Amino acid sequence: MRSSLPKVAWIGLGIMGSPMSENLIKAGYDVTGHTLEQDKLDRLTAAGGTAAASVAEAVRDADVVVTMVPAFPQVEAVAYGPDGILDSARAGTLLIDMSSITPQTSIDLARAAKEKGIRVLDAPVSGGEAGAAEAVLSIMVGGEQADFDEAQPLFEALGRTIVLCGPHGSGQTVKAANQLIVAVNIQACAEAVVFLEKSGVDLGAALEVLNGGLAGSTVLTRKKDNFLNRDFEPGFRIDLHHKDMGIVTDAARTVGAALPVGAVVAQLVASLRAQGDGGLDHSALLRAVERLSGARL
C-alpha cells in the first residue's frame, strides 16, 4: 500500500544528514538520498532508503527535497548546477534547505526557485549529532506560513522545537545567533575547565554542580564528557563552526550590531583551525585554552 506521506529526496548524508534521513524512514517516509560517499549511500539503503546516483535522479519524483550540506557553495552547486534541483524537480515541489548558510543565500535561492514554481523553506537546525540521532533538534524556519504548515509533520519527525521565525532568510539569521551563543558558551566552559583543573578541584564533581545551577546549559550537558575525557571526535567540526562564525560576524556588520565577545571567540575558533584542529569537535576549543595556559599538546 502506497504511503500517504510525501516522497522525500534527501541531498547530503553527512554527520547530521544520515541520522536525520533515517528518522524520516522510521517515521514512514519514502526517502531517496544522494551524497558523494558510497558508504553513506550504503548506510541509507541499509536503513530502508533508496540510493540515487545523482541529484537529478533523487529529486525527479520527489514531493519534498531536503538539502543538508556543509555550506553555501554546496547548496548552490546542488540547487543551481547542471542537473541540479531547480532544473530537475517538478513544479510545486517543496525544497527545504536545512544547511547552515548565509541569510542572503537563502533569500536568493527562494527567489530563483519561485521562477521554477518551486517553494522553499530555510530550516537550519541546532542540536548536533546527538540531537539529530535522537530526533530532538531545534529547527528554525524561514519562509511562507502555508509551506511551514505543510512541512510541520516532517519537521516533527526530526526535532522537538520547531518555530517559523519569519520570511525567507529568517531561519538562517536565527541559526547564526545560535552559533554565536554556542561558541561563546563552549569557550566559557573550556576556560572554566582549565581554571578548575589548575586549581586542583575534582573536575567531574565541579561540572556536575555547575550544570545544576544558573551556569548549566545544553552545551555543558552535551559536551561535559568531551571535556572530561578529552574526546573530540567530531559531532560538529571546528571547520563548520568557523564557517558559521564568519556568517554571524558578516551579518552583524551588515545590520550594524556590535559583537565584541563574539568577535574574540571567532578569532579563537579561527586560530584553533589554523593549528590543524579543524576536523575536531568544537568542544576542542578546550585545547586552545590549554595551549594558552601552558599545556603542551
The phi and psi torsions of 183 (rounded to 5 degrees) equal: -65, -45
Catalytic residue among 175, 223, 224, 243: 175
Cβ contacts of 8 within 8 Å, gap of 6 or more: 21, 24, 29, 30, 31, 32, 62, 63, 64, 65, 66, 154
Kindly state the cell numbers that stand for 204. 567531574
Helical ranges in the chain per DSSP H: 17-26, 38-46, 55-59, 72-80, 85-88, 103-115, 128-134, 145-156, 170-198, 203-210, 218-229, 238-255, 260-272, 285-292
Q: Is 198 a catalytic residue?
A: no
Q: End-to-end alpha-carbon separation of the chain, Å?
A: 58
> Which residues belong to the active site?
175
